[in-house]
Structure 1
Amino acid sequence: MNNQRILLSLFAIYFVFAILLNSVGTVILQVINTYDVSKSAASVLEGFKDIPIGIVSFLVASQLPRFGFKKAMLAGLAIVTTACIAMPLLPGFWTAKLLFLSVGVAFALVKVAAYSTVGLLARGRKEHASLLNTLEGVFMVGVLGGYWLFSVFIDSSNPSSTAWLSVYWVLAAICIVAFVLLWTTKMDESGMRVEGTSPRQEFLAMMKLMAKPLVYVYVVSVFIYVLIEQGIGSWLPTFNNEVLKLPAAMSVQAASIFAAGLAIGRLGAGAIMRRLHWYPVLNVCLVAMALLVVMTLPLSSNVQANPDVNWFNAPIAAFILPLIGLFMAPVYPAINSVILSSLPKHQHAAMTGLLVIFSALGGTTGSLITGTVFEVFDGQVAFYLSLVPITVILVSLFFFRRAVERELPGDAEVPANLAS
């Protein structure tokens, strides 16, 4: 089994899914302009993506070791390739809903399979964390690239133009390349399931994981984190456009600073967390997030539209607010590494299923809340609201740490060595 080729396949898959999953903020802005839908109506796109992720993960995560991780990832790629081709051929708001429904179903298969494959390749906790860190880092590079890729196809001078739909031909081509690469890669998936167990027993085993205090505190932390990330990430392009008065294409490009912060934070935090315990590092990051919100949002007040706006005279808030991603970055990979490294490999698929379910629920909740507040009040109020879940996750991480130390009394400091 060629580990490097498998990793390359995982990186390619995660790269294209990063673009598709995190394009929801850009697509929300574009469908509002192109199809004349309301903000609250457009916000359901997050639900079309996240709810299928949760449902499919719940139903199939425990069964993927039986089905095969490689087959699951190939199926996911085939689904999204078809959906991408449909976008420019059948333009409409319903097609956008269908796209994100397809992306949600496919990503449920892909993420459980990819995370479980990392467990298959890793030879220890440090290597597992390092691989997971790199995979999530590549994901954020994909998010960053996606903002710029979409901006190339957006016609700011004609907001109702459907030219932006041509980006899906490029995305379909990337999906096909990733499919062929994985198809031609050999994988040995032995040892990833318990022999002699029925599908019902495997499903019940996943449910029993929820009985562990460590696990249910963990899923609360994941839910709250993703609520924050998706609430900000999905609505940042619209915030830039409507509050900071930036053109549509520039609004999407400016939002890429958020993705860049996440990418740099995740790739760089590993070195820090090899030397420091994860808990104080994450607490510092969360406090820094709150301070950035409090100090930056006043700078976005009363911004006047400037027809000659460019990168040199844009409101300073457009550059500072997205840096919240830099401090947000270590939280998600760190707590995932802690939980997965504490479980045997045959439970990784089931645990990842729970991870994906609560991530999806958190993402949908965050986007819907932010979108509704954005429409009823304004973008500033919507982003100030992020201070509430930031406070909640600070509390949940305190109990998560206590649960880790109860479950792994002899290994309480193991997570200090985990890359984020």
Structure 2
Amino acid sequence: MKYWKLKLSLIINYIIFAILLNSVGVVILQVINDFGVNPESASVLEAWKDLSIAIASFLLASYIPRFGYKRAMITGLSVVIIGSIMMPLFGGFAMSQMLFAMVGVSFALIKISVYSTVSLVTDNANEHASFMSILEGFFMIGVLSGFWLFGFFIDIANSSDSITWLDTYWVLAGIGAMALILLLSTELDESSIKTETDNPLQDFKDMIGLIKYAVVIFFILGAFLYVYIEQAINTWLPTFNYQVLQLPDAISVQITSIYAGALAAGRILGGYVMKKLNWFYVLQTSLIMASVLVLLVLPLTIGIEPGSITGWAEVPFAAYVLPAIGLFLAPIYPTLSSSILSALPKNRQSGMTGLIVIFSALGGTSGSMVTGFLFGRLDGQTAFYFTLVPLVLLFLILIPYRRKREQFDLNNKTAE
């Protein structure tokens, strides 16, 4: 298969960051239980991650093509390996904040480089969309694996004095080292993405200048709302399972993997379905189904007695069904991202990816912090009911985005 080694390298890079980025919910649960941090304070871990992503993307996105995609990925992997080693050595809430800041900056380098490199290893828009879906599908497989990995160490730690949940990071450092070795041994031809100017400031202005297009504005709003929803659920689902559904802590983490698995399956299935059906109707139907699922399942989570669940045999039906919302959310993000990137020339895709990463990070931070605030001030059911607001807003945003996207295509063809 053409570019198979490079594609494998991109996939493995994405998997290691999937585990680290989406461990926020697990770490929040653990710092609440182990370090006595309250939910509102614990929710800032998402901000340490996402604001670091946003700031790094804003400052570096236009410079990365000049620095080199491969070198940027090597730098990002090296930083998270160091952070993963530091975490079990120092521990504590402050170290958790530092780790997620390191992961955030590194992911900005990785995602911009990976997304931009996709155009270098694909030959047309359909192949671009297909590999984007594959990448995002493997990202969710990484997320799923991460929940079981952390759950495994949490379970062992409950019955051992020599093992703690922080020992998970030794495994992650090892995976990161293997990903780094593979990347170092992989060649990447970046000659086609050299910028037309030697002025980094002009490259930055070109990135910001993309916001003048209405289609980009609607895309940014859509990406922000999607990640708000995904991260609100992903970050707080382990705590929801523990505090609302009264599951043991290890099960609370492990059963969250259903959400990641649903997202992975939904993205793979969505890529197939959208070959047959119009993407707009697929996404609108998905948003309706996700909203219906929230309305049907959350009432089933009321009134569960503390201590009533001690093992998998007693886990309530709602704990298995609520994470299935990922199946309906899954196709949205890669479809939107591919639609905007494939419409741009290769040397402007890193700038657009920078905007994607910035506003996705802001959406993730907002979703996590608002949900954490609602958890602390109200209750878990109310916090999750509030996900209906961005679901409805995203449904509405897709309508003008579709129209502007079609006009953007038409204008580009006319210019050609």
For 2:120, what is the secondary structure of its paired residue?
Answer: helix
Question: Which residue matches 1:59?
Answer: 59
Question: Which residue matches 1:229?
Answer: 230
- Report the TM-score when normalising by structure 2: 0.96
For 2:192, what is the secondary structure of its paired residue?
Answer: coil
Q: Which amino acid aligns with 2:326?
A: G
Question: Which residue matches 2:401?
Answer: 400
Q: Which amino acid aligns with 2:115?
A: Y
Runs of 4+ that moved beyond 4 A: 156-162
Per-residue deviation at 1:240?
0.2
Distance in 2 between residues matched to 1:232 and 1:135, nearest whole Å: 21
Distance in 2 between residues matched to 1:340 and 1:260, nearest whole Å: 26
Question: Which residue matches 1:300?
Answer: 301
Question: Which residue matches 2:93?
Answer: 93
Question: Which residue matches 1:71?
Answer: 71
Equivalences for 1:197-236 in 2 at 5 Å?
A: 197-236=198-237
* In the alignment, structure 1 residue 188 sits paired with structure 2 residue 189: yes
Distance in 1 between residues matched to 2:235 and 2:2, nearest whole Å: 37
What whole-Å deviation, never above 9, does each CA across 1:146-187 have from its counterpart, x for those lacking one?
Answer: 000000100474799970000000000000000010001111
For 1:403, what is the secondary structure of its paired residue?
Answer: helix
Per-residue deviation at 1:193?
2.4
* In the alignment, structure 1 residue 127 sits paired with structure 2 residue 111: no
Question: Which residue matches 1:418?
Answer: none
Distance in 2 between residues matched to 1:68 and 1:364, nearest whole Å: 28
> Tell me, which stretches of 5 or more residues in structure 2 are unaligned?
none
* In the alignment, structure 1 residue 240 sits paired with structure 2 residue 223: no
Per-residue deviation at 1:117?
0.6
Per-residue deviation at 1:390?
0.4
Label 1:162 to 1:99 Cα distance change in 2 as closer, same or farther (>3 A).
Answer: farther
Per-residue deviation at 1:196?
3.2
Equivalences for 1:125-164 in 2 at 5 Å?
A: 125-155=125-155, 157=158, 163-164=164-165
Q: Which amino acid aligns with 1:392?
A: L
For 1:194, what is the secondary structure of its paired residue?
Answer: coil
* In the alignment, structure 1 residue 281 sits paired with structure 2 residue 285: no
Question: Which residue matches 2:113?
Answer: 113
Q: How many residue pairs get matched?
A: 412
Distance in 2 between residues matched to 1:301 and 1:210, nearest whole Å: 44
For 2:276, what is the secondary structure of its paired residue?
Answer: coil
CA contact (8 A) 1:43 1:371 kept: yes
Question: Which residue matches 2:390?
Answer: 389
For 2:193, what is the secondary structure of its paired residue?
Answer: coil
Per-residue deviation at 1:310?
2.5
Q: Which amino acid aligns with 2:16?
A: V
CA contact (8 A) 2:229 2:390 kept: yes
What whole-Å deviation, never above 9, does each CA across 1:100-153 have from its counterpart, x for those lacking one?
Answer: 000000000000000011011110001111111111111000000000000010
Q: Which amino acid aligns with 1:346?
A: N
For 2:314, what is the secondary structure of its paired residue?
Answer: coil
Question: Which residue matches 2:49?
Answer: 49
Distance in 1 between residues matched to 2:323 and 2:25, nearest whole Å: 14
What whole-Å deviation, never above 9, does each CA across 1:252-298 have from its counterpart, x for those lacking one?
Answer: 01111100000000011111001111101000000000000000000
Q: Which amino acid aligns with 2:360?
A: S
Per-residue deviation at 1:304?
1.3
Percent of matched pairs sharing the same residue: 49
Question: Which residue matches 1:417?
Answer: none
Per-residue deviation at 1:306?
3.8
Per-residue deviation at 1:309?
3.0
Distance in 1 between residues matched to 2:231 and 2:162, nearest whole Å: 26
Per-residue deviation at 1:197?
3.5
Question: Which residue matches 1:253?
Answer: 254
Q: Which amino acid aligns with 2:350?
A: A
* In the alignment, structure 1 residue 374 sits paired with structure 2 residue 375: yes
For 1:323, what is the secondary structure of its paired residue?
Answer: helix
Distance in 2 between residues matched to 1:75 and 1:226, nearest whole Å: 25
CA contact (8 A) 1:46 1:363 kept: yes
Per-residue deviation at 1:307?
5.1
CA contact (8 A) 1:34 1:162 kept: no
Per-residue deviation at 1:2?
6.6
Distance in 2 between residues matched to 1:37 and 1:265, nearest whole Å: 35
What whole-Å deviation, never above 9, does each CA across 1:46-94 have from its counterpart, x for those lacking one?
Answer: 0000001000101110111100000000000010000000011001110
Distance in 2 between residues matched to 1:196 and 1:48, nearest whole Å: 34
Question: Which residue matches 2:340?
Answer: 339
Q: Which amino acid aligns with 2:129?
A: A
Q: Which amino acid aligns with 2:359?
A: F
Distance in 1 between residues matched to 2:257 and 2:236, nearest whole Å: 12
* In the alignment, structure 1 residue 30 sits paired with structure 2 residue 30: yes
> Tell me, which stretches of 5 or more residues in structure 1 are unaligned?
413-420
Q: Which amino acid aligns with 1:144?
A: L
For 2:228, what is the secondary structure of its paired residue?
Answer: helix
Label 1:410 to 1:208 Cα distance change in 2 as closer, same or farther (>3 A).
Answer: closer
For 1:131, what is the secondary structure of its paired residue?
Answer: helix
For 1:121, what is the secondary structure of its paired residue?
Answer: coil
Label 1:385 to 1:158 Cα distance change in 2 as closer, same or farther (>3 A).
Answer: farther
Per-residue deviation at 1:405?
1.6
Q: Which amino acid aligns with 1:303?
A: I
CA contact (8 A) 1:137 1:266 kept: yes
Per-residue deviation at 1:312?
2.7
Q: Which amino acid aligns with 2:251?
A: M
Distance in 1 between residues matched to 2:39 and 2:199, nearest whole Å: 46
CA contact (8 A) 2:31 2:42 kept: yes
Distance in 2 between residues matched to 1:304 and 1:369, nearest whole Å: 26
